[in-house]
Amino acid sequence: MKGLSENERVWIARDYLKCSGCRRCEIVCSLSHEGKIWPEASRIRVFMLIPGVEVPHLCVQCHDYPCLKVCPTKALSINKQTEAVIVDKEACVACGKCIDACPGKIPYIHPTENYALICDLCSGRPKCVEACAAGRWNALEIIKKSDTHTFKLYAKTPEIITRDIASQIYGKKWRETV
Amino acid sequence: MKGYAGKFLEVNLSSENVKETILDEEILSQYIGGRGLATKILWDKLGKNWERIEPLGSENLLLMLTGPLTGYVPGARLCVSGKSPQSNGVVGSTVGGEFSVELKCAGYDGIIFYGKAEKPVYLFIKDSEVELKPANHIWGKGSQETLKILVKECREELASRFPRRGLWKEPQIVYIGPAGEKRSRIAVVAAKWAHAAGYGGYGGVMGSKNLKAVVVKGTGPLPDVVDMKKVSTLINKILDINFRNIVFRRWGTGNLGHDVGSRISSEPVRNWQEEWHNEESYGSYEFEKYWVKRYWADFGCPTSCLKLAVIRSGPFEGAITDNPDYENQAYLGPNLGIFNAEENIYLTALIDELGLCGIQTGNVLGFAGELYEKGILTKQDLEGVELKWGDAKAFATLAQMIADRKGIGDILAEGTHRAALKISKLKGVDVSLYDVTEKGIAIGAHGIRSEEDYPGYESYACSVQAGDHTSVARIPLDHGNSELRSLLYDTGVFCWFNFFEKEAQDLLWPFIEAVTGWKITEKQWIETVGRKILHIQRALLLLGGPDMQWVPRKDDDVPLRWYIPLGAGPYKGKAVDRERLNRDRKEYYEAIGWDENGIPLPTELKRLGLKDVDRKLDEIRKPLPKY
Ligand code: SF4
Ligand code: SF4
Ligand code: SF4
């Protein structure tokens, strides 16, 4: 978090080509939120729909929060400081409407509990980014969040991202495989 | 029991019966997991009739085991085992990737396969729901197609079974290629592209059971441990040690093809006729040109020794493979007279696609290349292929014939040693000089003549996994590369490559305790826990059969070729000194507790509570002639 002062809002930039697939981000995210190593309950998930194309997938904090708008139980709210989406575990009924509304289909239901999982930005100090930086992979990096709508453009499905990356590194015909 | 999911899956492919078993703590605390547990299971279930069990028959078992440290110790691996169709003993053959972690998250520490499916099948595990599914549509397919189809259809199935859950990540998959389906003894159990459990030949075992793949989706957490805080601290220490190893992170083993292997003269060149070359065209940076990913890792790994190589244009367009790592660089390069990175990447990708082992196949191709050079195999024997050194296309054609078991490929698919015996007979010439193997297993690309690489004289001769360069015997027994160490990694089950440093190795004992609560010291491992496993493995290797049995002591030797002095390079003139090898071997036998013929001593077996092994070994403890 170099160069960022305490109260500045952070955003997690992602560069899929740099992702090693080490899944250290899944490990630390699930350890800090669940107290266990639990890849399927991590708020960041590394998709590998084609080996070599590893896609860390997590919430981008859209400026207009489509997920929040559709929630029938008002289980989702925005943290004022970080602007992360916060899930109220009691209120959430795991209906999956937020998933449908999300342009990247990023939220998903906890494997054993009845609520949705969405990145909470670790209250402004993202653990996954620390883990990624420790390995100097830098697929995830902290940048200062500004008032722009472009962040939302990063909310893409893993399929779309995979097609792009696969086509770049393996060749065009790999577009059709996912 | 901490560190374990607590259950094993037993799958009878003949009856299609699937059940869960619980192994008691008594057994697990002694044999832990992975290679140790595989050895115990095989001894208990097949030991009595070991010599009669056909490795490629339905009586053999196929084991896929994790260990309590899998997923916790950085760099997860899976241990594949069974009776090896290469050595006729037990090989703990490991493969990296997320499969083992996913399996534990599904609630299983391992899978034991029995029997043989009537038609091609794959096993689909979604947590506790386990199902055998038809695999006709992927039978015959190479790695790229197999993975594409399985990822797609299994994700679709998950999505339809659990429609409200959101997007499913891919399940994890291990599979075989066409070579495994044809029961080749040199076929691998693969993951991702070139991740492979190669040594042992378990791709052939899987094929002999008509099992194309195992697909697993586990949504649970890794099993509980005794002290998660301590585990986290230890993980971080191991990460830090390995983050510092920037050279290895940068290249993995992919800079050895020229910059290391050849300079220290331990790299096979033209079927080990030399172990040195001076081809700068084979330098590290030549390979790096093809890398599209410079740091590619498996679950939890700080090192990312893997790289991803792709050829995007020209005659070899479409080739995709890991690295290639040093073994593939050496065996599918200089060993075939090839000194060109692009051709090596192409051949490595082809071998992956066919489901063959880079080491075993590179060895047998080099063997065939030399027989062609010497005029023993002719163009006619090779169905028109002119197998000249350096001709990548010719070697590729032969590799395809091996995978298809077509023509001479049928003989070569048996691996170098068995092929050598057969060809000697067919041709009436003794070709044993060209057979560079150890007890049926082609030796890794680390020669011992120059004495500059890490294996020593005793390493392959005394290894319970024969030619396996990841499991070499060393004295003293607490040597940093000793076989008891490899055994620990394969039993754990995790990757060796994060444990080059003594500092990291020493963290494993507290790690075991923090995960399982069991206090095992290095001394106990060497003297009792590990030693016991090694003795059983040794016993089963010597019992061998049914197609061949190793002669105690006599077969604890190195290939004939290694007694011939190196002909060129900085170590010209160096060869294995037989006197010294005999001495080192004797010293190793004494240190480990084997008699003068390398058979575990009765006193030693009794000390460790292995009376049944001792009784069984009486069958081969006849007075031996002097060699
Ligand atoms: S920690 Fe970084 S490099 Fe590793 S999987 Fe996550 S995003 Fe990729
Ligand atoms: S990325 Fe998805 S989950 Fe995150 S704010 Fe946007 S819609 Fe909501
Ligand atoms: S910022 Fe925190 S909650 Fe969000 S994905 Fe990273 S580790 Fe998980």
CB B122 within 8 Å of CB B215: yes
Other Cβ atoms within 10 Å of B548 Cβ, number = 15
pLDDT at B283 over 90: no
Residue of A nearest to B298 (CA): A22
**Closest Cβ opposite residue B243 in set A20, A40, A135:** A135
Which chain B residues contact residue A114 at CB under 8 A? none
What pLDDT sits at residue A146? 83
Question: Under an 8 A CB cutoff, do B220 and A137 touch?
Answer: no
The total of other beta-carbon atoms located within 10 Å of residue B99's CB is 28
Residue B126: which H helix or E strand, with range? strand B121-126
In this prediction, what percent of chain B has a pLDDT beyond 70? Answer: 99
Residue with the smallest CA separation from ligand 2 atom 6 is A62
Question: Cβ separation of A23 and B98 shorter than 8 Å?
Answer: yes
Q: Which amino acid is at A145?
A: K
Residue A5 has pLDDT above 70, yes or no: no
Ligand 2: residue whose CA is nearest its atom 4: A59
Residue nearest to atom 7 of ligand 2 (CA): A102
> Which of these, B143, B144, B105, B140, lies nearest to B125 by C-alpha position?
B105
For residue B139, give both structure tokens. 């039978």
Residue B113: pLDDT over 70: yes
Report the separation in Å between the CA atom of A130 and the middle of ligand 2, taken as the mean of its atom positions: 22
In chain A, residues with a C-beta closer than 8 Å to the C-beta of B221 are 30, 34, 36-38, 41
CA distance B340 to chain A (A): 21
Looking at per-residue confidence, does B59 or A8 come out higher? Answer: B59
| Cβ–Cβ gap B302/A49 under 8 Å | no
Predicted confidence (pLDDT) per residue in A12-66, tens digit: 999 999 999 999 999 999 999 999 999 999 999 999 999 999 999 999 999 999 9
Chain centroid to CA B459: 16
* Least Cα separation, residue A142 to chain B (angstroms): 20
Backbone dihedral angles phi then psi of residue A159, each to the nearest 5 degrees = -65, -45
Cα B467 from Cα B465, distance rounded (Å): 6
pLDDT band, residue A86 (cuts 50/70/90): very high
Least confident of B98-107, B215-224, B276-285: B276-285
The whole-number pLDDT of residue B216 equals 98
3-state secondary structure string across B494-546: ECHHHCCCHHHHCCHHHHHHHHHCCCCCHHHHHHHHHHHHHHHHHHHHHHCCC
Strand-pairing partners, residue B10, are B19, B112
Cβ <8 Å between B221 and A27: no
Q: Are B193 and A99 within 8 A, CB to CB? A: no
Tell if the CB–CB gap between A96 and B165 is shorter than 8 Å: yes
Across the range A88-96, mean pLDDT stands at 97
- Which of A23, A53, A110, A167 is the best residue to mutate to test the B interface, defined by the most B CB atoms within 10 Å of its own CB? A23
Q: pLDDT band at residue A6, thresholds of 50, 70 and 90?
A: low
**Complex ipTM above 0.90?**
yes
Q: Chain B residue closest to A173 (CA)? A: B318
| Cα–Cα distance for residue pair B103/B66, rounded to 1 Å | 8
Query: Which amino acid is residue A105, in one-letter code?
Result: K
User: Using CA atoms, how far apart are residues A18 and A71, in angstroms rounded to an integer?
Assistant: 34
Cα–Cα distance between B87 and A64 in angstroms, integer?
A: 64
From atom 8 of ligand 2, which residue's Cα is the shortest distance away? A67
pLDDT in tens, A145-164: 888 778 899 999 999 999 99
For range B325-332, the mean pLDDT: 96
Mean predicted lDDT score pLDDT of chain A = 94
Find, in chain B, the residue whose alpha carbon is nearest to that of A36: B221
Nearest Cα to B550, choosing from B91, B86, B205?
B86
The ligand placed nearest to the CA atom of residue A53 is: 1
CA of A142 to the centre of ligand 3 (A): 12
What is the nearest CA distance from B610 to chain A, expressed in angstroms? 38
Q: How far is the CA of A159 from the centre of ligand 2 (A)?
A: 17
Asked if the Cβ–Cβ distance from A136 to B192 is below 8 Å, we say no
> In percent, how much of chain A has pLDDT > 70?
96
Report the range of poorest mean pLDDT among B469-473, B478-482, B571-575: B478-482
SS3 B76: strand
Separation in Å, CA B599 to CA B36, B534, B593? 19, 12, 8
Chain A residues within an 8 Å CB radius of B497:
none
CA-CA distances (angstroms) from residue B62 to B51, B200, B205, B546?
17, 11, 7, 18
Hey, is B278 helix, strand or coil? coil
- Interchain contact, B312 vs A24, CB within 8 Å: no
Give the closest residue to B84 by CA, choosing from B114, B60, B104, B68: B60
Per DSSP, the residues of B307-363 read EEEE--SSTTTT-EEE---HHHHHHTTGGGT---HHHHHHHHHHHHHHTB-HHHHHH
In whole angstroms, what is the distance from residue B277 CA to residue B338 CA? 11
CB B495 within 8 A of CB B96: yes
Q: Report CA torsion sign: A177, B94, B198, B194.
A: positive
Pairs of CB atoms within 8 A across A/B: 124
Instruction: Answer whether A10's CB lies under 8 Å from A79's CB.
Output: no
Is A109 close to B151, i.e. CB distance below 8 A?
no
Q: What is the pLDDT of residue A3?
A: 52
User: Hey, which residues does B402 pair with through a beta bridge?
Assistant: none
Q: How far apart are CA B436 and CA B433, in angstroms?
A: 8
Distance CA B362, CA B445 (A): 10
How many CA atoms lie less than 13 Å away from A84 in the CB half-sphere? Answer: 22
pLDDT for residue A150: 84
Q: Are B27 and B529 in contact (CB under 8 A)?
A: no
> Using an 8 Å Cβ cutoff, are A132 and A138 in contact?
yes
Measured CA to CA in angstroms, residue B589 lies from B403, B477, B545, B557, B560 at distances of: 39, 11, 23, 13, 22
Pairing relationship of beta strands B62-65 and B110-114 according to DSSP bridges: antiparallel
* Residue B308 pLDDT: 96
**Cβ-nearest to A41 among B193, B221, B228:** B221
Q: Which residues of B touch A48 (CB under 8 A)?
A: 98, 169-170
The predicted structure's pLDDT at residue B254: 82
Question: How does DSSP classify residue B477?
Answer: T
pLDDT score of B260 more than 80: no
What is the SS3 assignment for A126?
coil
Mutate to test the interface with B, among A27, A118, A156, A164 (most CBs of B within 10 A): A27
d(CA B404, CA B409): 7
User: Rounded to whole angstroms, what are the CA distances from A21 to A45, B294, B623?
Assistant: 10, 12, 55
Query: Which of A18, A37, A102, A164 is the best substitution to test chain B (most B C-beta atoms within 10 A)?
Result: A37
pLDDT range class, residue A2, cuts 50, 70, 90: low
What span, in angstroms and rounded, lies between the C-alpha atoms of B442 and B56? 19
Peptide bond into B493 cis (omega under 30): yes
Q: What is the per-residue pLDDT across B567-625, written as a single tens digit (0 to 9) for each?
A: 999 999 999 999 999 999 999 999 999 999 999 999 999 999 999 999 999 999 977 66
Question: What's the pLDDT score for residue B625?
Answer: 65
Do B111 and B124 meet the contact criterion of CB atoms below 8 Å apart?
no
| C-alpha to C-alpha distance for B158 and B151, rounded to whole angstroms | 11
Measured between alpha carbons, how far is B387 from B366 in angstroms, rounded to an integer?
10
Whole-number Å distance between alpha carbons of B194 and B97: 11
Nearest Cα to Cα of residue A166 among B320, B314, B353: B320
State how far the Cα of B354 lies from the Cα of B409, in Å rounded to an integer: 13
Query: What pLDDT is attached to residue A24?
Result: 98
The pair of three-digit structure tokens given for residue B568, joined into one six-digit string: 């060129």
Query: What distance in angstroms lies between residue A22's CA and the mean position of ligand 3's atoms?
Result: 16
Whether the bond into A111 is cis, omega within 30 of 0: no
- Give the other-Cβ count within 10 Å of A166's Cβ: 21
H/E run at residue B1: none
Mean pLDDT of chain B: 96
Q: Is A126 in the pocket of ligand 3 (CB under 6 A)?
A: yes
Atom of ligand 1 nearest to the CA of A131: 1
- The rounded distance, in Å, linking the Cα atoms of A168 and A20 is 16
pLDDT given for residue A125 in this prediction:
95
**Mean pLDDT across the stretch B7-13?**
98
- Give the rounded distance of the alpha carbon of B439 from its chain centre: 15
Identify the helix (H) or strand (E) that includes residue B234. helix B228-243
All residues of chain A having their beta carbon less than 8 Å from the beta carbon of residue B301 are 22
CB contacts, 8 Å: A109 with chain B: 164-166
Contact B167 A108 (CB under 8 A): yes
Residue B582's CB: how many other CB atoms inside 10 A? 16
Cβ contact B56:B204 at 8 Å = yes
Nearest ligand atom owner, CA of A87? 2
B82-93 exposure pattern, b = at least 16 Cβ within 10 A, e = fewer: bbbbbbbbbbbb
Angle at B120 between CA B117 and CA B123, to 5 degrees: 75
Q: Which of B215, B221, B222, B192 is nearest to B297 (CA)?
A: B192
Ligand 1 probe mutation, A24, A47, A57, most atoms within 8 A of CB: A24
Task: Provide mean pLDDT across the span B299-317.
Answer: 95
Q: What is the DSSP letter of A153?
A: G
Q: Are A66 and A168 in contact (CB under 8 A)?
A: no
Chain A residues near residue B296 by CB distance under 8 angstroms = 20-21, 52
Ligand 1 centroid from CA A22, angstroms: 5
Answer yes or no: is pLDDT of B375 > 60: yes
Query: B318 to chain A nearest CA, in Å?
Result: 7
pLDDT in tens, B47-94: 999 999 999 999 999 999 999 999 999 999 999 999 999 999 999 999
